[in-house]
Amino acid sequence: MDVALADRLLTTTRSVRKRLDHRRPVEPALVERSIEVALQAPTGSNSQGWHFVVVTDADKRAGLAALYRRAWELYASGKLPARAELPPDDPRAKQLPRIIDSASYLAEHLHEVPVHVIACIEGRVENAGPLAQASTYGSILPAVWSLMLALRARGLGSAWTTLHILFEQEAAALLGIPSTVTQAALLPVAHYTGADFKPAKRLPAREQTHWNAWGKRR
């Protein structure tokens, strides 16, 4: 195992929004191979109830982008629950204006991104308890992250998005997704432009790690 290469892929796979190349076509085989790699991810009880809806049809991408934009506008105008205010010296507060600018760009241009991938999992858990929720989402989200990594290794950028899920059933109707299936994320996918990516500033691992009891550091 080339640890340096693995760490580079894991630490520099970013949410790509402004650097998605809308004009360059994406070879379907690259997406298919990336999905094959992603399906090596774990699933609860080896259930493998995952599905990836790959959308290249321009009208359908426009339909999804319209739903996404509606949700973005609600989010941007503060009509969706947002997270608590952060102190100005918090690294997340410093990153926020750049993320908002980038996310706003994606909301305006999503229809132009050549491939949308919606990751789905069989089952519904909105009325289920924490174990069923953790098992269901936990059986698709590792594959979604693997997909982003596999795409990135092939020169394709993507961004993890969830906003369209505010209108999940409208997206389901557009794509014929059964009502028994849960949508977990939408990845816009395209070749990326420009140079390579850098690791992001994150909260220090030491502060987020608890040894043997909550709040205990090593």
Contact assessment for residue 23 and residue 73, using Cβ atoms and an 8 Å cutoff:
no
Bridge partners, 119 (sequence order): 52, 185
Q: How far is the CB of 218 from ligand FMN (least distance, A)?
A: 26
Q: Which of 6, 99, 131, 134 binds ligand FMN (CB under 6 A)?
A: 99
Please enumerate, as own/partner, the contacts of 104-107 that have beta carbons within 8 Å and a separation of 24 or more.
Answer: 104/72, 104/76, 105/17, 105/18, 106/17, 106/18, 106/159, 106/161, 106/188, 107/68, 107/69, 107/72, 107/73, 107/76, 107/163
Cβ 51 to ligand FMN shortest distance, Å: 18
* Interface pick for ligand FMN out of 18, 137, 160, 166 (rule CB under 6 A): 160
Of the residues 162, 169, 179, 209, which one makes contact with ligand FMN according to CB under 6 A: 162
To the nearest whole angstrom, how small is the minimum distance from the Cβ of residue 29 to ligand FMN?
26
Considering only the C-alpha atoms of the chain, give the largest distance between any 2 of them, rounded to a whole number of Å.
Answer: 54
Which residue of 115, 159, 171, 177 would you call a contact of ligand FMN, by CB under 6 A? 159
The interface with ligand FMN within residues 3-22 (CB under 6 A) comprises 14-15
Please give the size of the binding site for ligand FMN, defined by CB under 6 A.
11
- State in angstroms the smallest separation of the CB of 67 from ligand FMN: 11
CA distance 9 to 1: 13
Contact call for residue 161 and ligand FMN (CB under 6 A) = yes
Closest CA to 13 of 157, 154, 205: 157
200 is a site residue for ligand FMN (CB under 6 A): yes
Q: Is 163 in the site for ligand FMN (CB under 6 A)?
A: yes
Picking from 168, 73, 66, 56, the residue whose alpha carbon sits closest to that of residue 113 is 56
In the complex, which residues of this chain contact ligand FMN (CB under 6 A)?
14-15, 99, 103, 106, 159-163, 200
